[in-house]
């Protein structure tokens, strides 16, 4: 069903809605406890593959993380996302088959010891997590010309990525883990879920309760990759010029793991 974002159904002219000034609220910094809570979610969020428990996810909780996703920014307020919630095990098994095939191909793309290490990694929790969420992008959402997309057509995809990150953080706060799986051919997934050809599959998210999580990225713990120093990524005024003055503050600002309970 097409949606025409940016053109509300009830927009009957300026007299119908309160003026924009009336819709503002104060926006000071959060209290320290609230800031800490936000940081706890940011630092404690992990990509989860192994730690899912079979405990079912109540509809109310699922609804809250989907609502968090739906609060994400989107270009021109186009909200190009959809979420296909998949609990059915047989269906998830079919998705797992797609993963297994793609993962076997992926392994051959790495050489020598790297390939051996790749093969040792678990890169999904499609069957162990009690539910999967396929997140999609409808590139026609918002109509032919979308505010903000006129010169950067891919920003609708970025909008969906923002929604996924919102969901991921909200899930952490609920005690739910999320694992993003991208190792499958998205075109092969579409017929399994009845997704139309012109819709883009953005992610398969494994979602379920977790009792434990890695304190830093699992791929770091398993020596696949390391988090880069932030100060090496921040430039001062022009590409490539180190932001030397900012470096001590940048180093101090990046904590090494989740804040203690």
Ligand X SMILES: Cc1cc2nc3c(=O)[nH]c(=O)nc-3n(C[C@H](O)[C@H](O)[C@H](O)COP(=O)(O)O)c2cc1C
* 49 interacts with ligand X by CB under 6 A: yes
5 or 214, CB closer to ligand X? Answer: 214
* 47 interacts with ligand X by CB under 6 A: yes
* 118 interacts with ligand X by CB under 6 A: no
* 186 interacts with ligand X by CB under 6 A: no
Q: Residue 220 Cβ, how far from ligand X at the closest point, in Å?
A: 7
Half-sphere exposure of 68 (CA within 13 A, CB side): 17
Instruction: Kindly state the number of chain residues that form the binding site for ligand X, as judged by CB under 6 A.
Output: 12
Per-residue binding string, ligand X, 61-100, x by CB under 6 A, is ----------------------------------------
Contacting ligand X (CB under 6 A), which of 183, 200, 243, 246? 183
Q: Residue 239 Cβ, how far from ligand X at the closest point, in Å?
A: 24
248 or 257, CB closer to ligand X? Answer: 257
Stretch of residues binding ligand X (CB under 6 A), selected from 23-31, 65-73, 178-186, 242-250: 178-186
Contacting ligand X (CB under 6 A), which of 72, 190, 217, 230? 217
* 219 interacts with ligand X by CB under 6 A: yes
Query: Measured at CB, which residue is nearest to ligand X?
Result: 217
* 123 interacts with ligand X by CB under 6 A: yes
Instruction: Please choose, from the candidates 126, 140, 221, the residue with its C-alpha nearest in 3D space to the C-alpha of residue 178.
Output: 126
Evaluate whether 227 touches 217 at the Cβ level (below 8 Å). Answer: yes
* 102 interacts with ligand X by CB under 6 A: no
Pairing of strands 199-209, 176-181: antiparallel
Residue by residue, DSSP assigns the chain as: ----TTS-TT---GGGS--GGGG-----PPPHHHHHHHHHHHHH--B-SS-B--PPPPHHHHHHHHHHHHTS--GGG---EEEEEE--HHHHHHHHHHHHHHHHHHHTTS-HHHHHHHHH-----TTTSSEEEEEEEETTTT-SS-TT-SS-TTHHHHHHHHHHHHHHHHHHHTTEEEEEE--S-HHHHHHHHT--TTEEEEEEEEEEEBS---SS-HHHHTTS--PPPGGGT-BSSSTT-B-GGGHHHHHHHS-SSPPP-
Stretch of residues binding ligand X (CB under 6 A), selected from 89-97, 127-135, 147-155, 174-182: 174-182
Stretch of residues binding ligand X (CB under 6 A), selected from 12-20, 50-58, 65-73, 181-189: 181-189
Q: Residue 211 Cβ, how far from ligand X at the closest point, in Å?
A: 16
State the residues that interact with ligand X by CB under 6 A. Answer: 46-47, 49, 123-124, 180-183, 217-219
């Amino acid at each position: 069903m097409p949606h025409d974002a940016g053109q509300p159904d009830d927009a009957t002219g300026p007299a119908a809605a309160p003026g924009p000034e009336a819709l503002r609220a104060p926006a000071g910094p959060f209290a320290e406890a609230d800031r800490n809570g936000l940081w706890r979610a940011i630092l404690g969020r992990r990509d989860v593959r192994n730690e899912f428990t079979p405990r079912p996810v109540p509809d109310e909780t699922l609804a809250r993380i989907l609502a968090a996703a739906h609060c994400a920014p989107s270009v021109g307020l186009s909200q190009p996302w959809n979420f296909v919630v998949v609990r059915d095990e047989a269906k998830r098994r079919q998705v797992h088959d797609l993963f297994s095939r793609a993962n076997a191909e992926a392994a051959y793309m790495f050489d020598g010891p790297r390939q051996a290490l790749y093969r040792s990694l678990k890169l999904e929790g499609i069957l162990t997590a009690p539910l999967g969420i396929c997140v999609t992008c409808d590139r026609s959402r918002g109509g032919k010309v979308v505010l903000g997309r006129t010169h950067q057509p891919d920003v609708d995809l970025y909008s969906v990525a923002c929604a996924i990150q919102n969901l991921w953080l909200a899930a952490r706060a609920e005690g739910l883990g999320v694992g993003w799986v991208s190792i499958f051919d998205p075109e092969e997934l579409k017929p399994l879920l009845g997704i139309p050809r012109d819709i883009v599959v953005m992610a398969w998210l494994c979602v379920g309760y977790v009792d434990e999580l890695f304190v830093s990225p699992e791929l770091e713990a398993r020596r696949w990759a390391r988090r880069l120093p932030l100060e090496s990524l921040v430039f001062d005024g022009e590409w490539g010029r180190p932001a030397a003055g900012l470096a001590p503050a940048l180093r101090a600002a990046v904590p090494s793991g989740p804040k203690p309970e």
